[in-house]
Structure 1
Amino acid sequence: WSQLTDSRGRAFHYVHIDQSLAGKRLTIMLHSGYPNWLGSIDYFMIGSSRLFLRNLSLADAIYISSLSVAVALIVFLIMDLAWRGSHARRRRMQLYLIGYLATFILWTTGSSSFFSRMYGMANFWWELHLVTLYLMPIFCAKITQEIVSPRYIARVKTTMSVFAALFVTATITEITGLDGYMNMLFLFYPLLLVGCLLLIYTLARSSWAHHPGCRYGTFAMTAIVIFGGIDALHWEYHQLSVMLSTTVFSIYASIPFIFYTIREQMLRDAALAEQNEELVRELEISQNEAQRDFLTGCYNRHQLGEGFAKFSALAYARGFKFSFAIFDVDHFKTVNDTKGHLAGDRILRQIADTIHEEIDRRHLFIRYGGDEFILLALHYDLEAMVAFCEHLRSILEHSLDGVTLSFGVSTWHGKKDRLRALIDRADRALYLSKEKGRNTVSAENEEGAA
Structure 2
Amino acid sequence: MLATGADLFGVSGVSLRQQMYYALLLVLEAYVAYLIYRSARVGNRYSRAMVLPLIAMVTLGAFDGVNAHLHLTPLPTYIMPLSVYSFLYFILQMIRDQLVRSQFLESRTLELGYRAALLQERAERDPLTQCRNRGSFERDLPSVIWTARSAGTPLSLLLFDIDHFKQFNDTFGHAAGDMILRGFARTVRAELDKQKSFYRWGGEEFVVLLPGCDLDAAAVIGNRLRRTVAAFLQYEKHPVTVSVGVSVCHGGDDTAQALFERADSALYAAKAAGRNCLRVESPQAAIGEEALG
For 1:362, the equivalent position in structure 2 comes to 195
For 1:274, the equivalent position in structure 2 comes to 107
Larger displacement relative to structure 2 (208-217 or 296-305): 208-217
For 1:288, the equivalent position in structure 2 comes to 121
1:369-416 deviation line (CA, Å, top 9, x unaligned): 210111212222222222322332233223321111111111111131
Q: Distance in 1 between matches of 2:232 and 2:42?
A: 62
Q: Distance in 1 between matches of 2:250 and 2:94?
A: 65
For 2:181, the equivalent position in structure 1 comes to 348
Q: Distance in 1 between matches of 2:156 and 2:222?
A: 11
- Give yes or no for the alignment of 1:192 onto 2:25: yes
1:194 deviates by 1.7
For this pair of structures, how many residues does the alignment match? 281
CA distance 1:245–1:192, change in 2 (3 Å): closer
Q: Distance in 1 between matches of 2:89 and 2:41?
A: 15
TM-score for both structures, normalised by structure 1: 0.54
1:344 deviates by 0.3
Q: Distance in 1 between matches of 2:219 and 2:8?
A: 99
The answer to whether the 8 Å contact 2:163/2:241 transfers is yes
1:259 deviates by 1.9
Counting strand residues as a fraction of each chain, which structure ranks higher? 2
The answer to whether the 8 Å contact 1:233/1:240 transfers is no
For 1:306, the equivalent position in structure 2 comes to 139
Name the SS for the 1:299 alignment partner: coil
For 2:242, the equivalent position in structure 1 comes to 405
For 1:443, the equivalent position in structure 2 comes to 280
For 1:42, the equivalent position in structure 2 comes to none
CA distance 1:317–1:181, change in 2 (3 Å): farther
- Return the letter of the residue paired with 1:421: A
The answer to whether the 8 Å contact 2:159/2:264 transfers is yes
- Return the letter of the residue paired with 1:336: N
Which structure 2 residues correspond to residues 100-179 of structure 1 after superposition, within 5 A?
173=5, 177=8
Q: Distance in 2 between matches of 1:286 and 1:426?
A: 31
Name the SS for the 1:432 alignment partner: helix
1:396 equivalent among 229, 236, 239 = 229
- Return the letter of the residue paired with 1:296: T
The answer to whether the 8 Å contact 1:213/1:261 transfers is yes
The answer to whether the 8 Å contact 2:68/2:77 transfers is no
For 2:290, the equivalent position in structure 1 comes to none
1:401-448 deviation line (CA, Å, top 9, x unaligned): 111111111111113111232123212322332244322333224527
Identity %: 34
1:181-214 deviation line (CA, Å, top 9, x unaligned): 9665543321112211332344456556834444
- Greater relative contact order, per chain length (Cα 8 Å cut-off, separation 6+): 2
Which structure 2 residues correspond to residues 419-438 of structure 1 after superposition, within 5 A?
419-438=256-275
CA distance 1:321–1:197, change in 2 (3 Å): same
Name the SS for the 1:376 alignment partner: strand
TM-score for both structures, normalised by structure 2: 0.79
